[in-house]
Amino acid sequence: MPDRTRSVSPGAVKGSVRDEHGVVLRIPQGWELLPPGDAALTRRVKQAGPVWTMQERKGRKIFSLGMYAPSARIAQLRAALELERQNPAYGRKLEQGRARRAKEQAEYVEDFRGAIAAFLRFAPRHQQLQSAMAEAIAAHATPVGSGTVARTQRISIERRAEAATIAWLRHATTAYDEMYIARVKGLRREVRRELAKTSRVLLDRYRRGESFPEGRCVLQKALTSATSSSLWWPVT
C-alpha cells in the first residue's frame, strides 16, 4: 500500500502510470480512478490518506484526470456523502457558500477593474475609453478557474492588473498571435518583453491626451474588435 501522495501521468501500458521523474509504476491493487467533478468527494478522499493525482500535460497546460485511491475508501466516503446530501441542512450550507463566493467574486471584479483603471490613468479626454477597457479586461481576466494572471495570489492586485492589461494589448494590438516564434528557450519571453515596451509607449500617448483622427484610434479599434468577436485569448 503506497504511503505517500504522488502526482502521476498516464503510462504507455494499461494499468501503469509514470511518476514525477518518469519512473513507470503499477497502479496499486484495489485502487481505482476517481474522475474529477465532485469537489467534495475528491477533497474527502484526499484527506483520508495517500492518493495518486492523475495529470496530463498538453503544451504548457496541465489538466487533471482525477486521482487514484483505494476503491473501498472511495465507496465508503461516497456513500457517507450521499447520506449527508440528503439532509436539508447540507443544501442550505451549500447555498450559503455559493452566495458568499459570488459576493467575494463581485467585489474582486470591482477592485480589479479599479486597479486596471489606475494603471491606465488616461487623460480626461480618454476617460470613456479607459472605462470601457477596464471593464472588458476585468470581465475577461477575472472569472474563477480562468487560470489568468488575475487569479494568482502571488503578486499584488496592482501588478496583476498591469500584467493583464499588457497581455490584453499584446493580443489585441500587435501581431503576436500570428508570429512564428522558434522553440528556443527564452525567445517567447523576449518577444513578449519587446511587445510590452511597444504597448507601454502606446499607453503613454493616451495618458498625455494625444488626439487621434477618426477611425485611427488603436485602442478603440482593438476594443471594438475584441468585444464583437467570440474569440478571446488567454490573459497570461
Whether residue 15 lies inside any domain: the answer is yes
Res. 233: pLDDT tops 60: no
Query: What CA–CA distances, in Å, run from 155 to 37, 98, 107, 162, 165?
Result: 29, 26, 18, 11, 15
Q: Domain of 23?
A: 6-85
Residue where a domain stops, chosen among 85, 102, 131: 85
Whether residue 93 lies inside any domain: the answer is no
Residue where a domain stops, chosen among 85, 120, 147: 85
Tally of domains within the chain: 2
Whether residue 98 lies inside any domain: the answer is no
pLDDT tens-digit series, residues 74-113: 999 999 999 999 999 988 998 999 999 999 999 999 999 9
Question: Cβ atoms within 10 A of the Cβ of 64, count?
Answer: 13
Whether residue 219 lies inside any domain: the answer is yes
Same domain, 66 and 10: yes
Res. 230: pLDDT tops 50: no
CA angle 190-235-224, nearest 5°? 110
pLDDT tens-digit series, residues 154-188: 899 999 999 999 999 999 888 888 888 888 899 99
Whether residue 176 lies inside any domain: the answer is yes
Whether residue 234 lies inside any domain: the answer is no
Same domain, 78 and 163: no
- Find the helix or strand (DSSP H, E) in which 221 lies: helix 218-228
Same domain, 45 and 120: no
Same domain, 198 and 126: yes
Q: Global pTM? A: 0.70
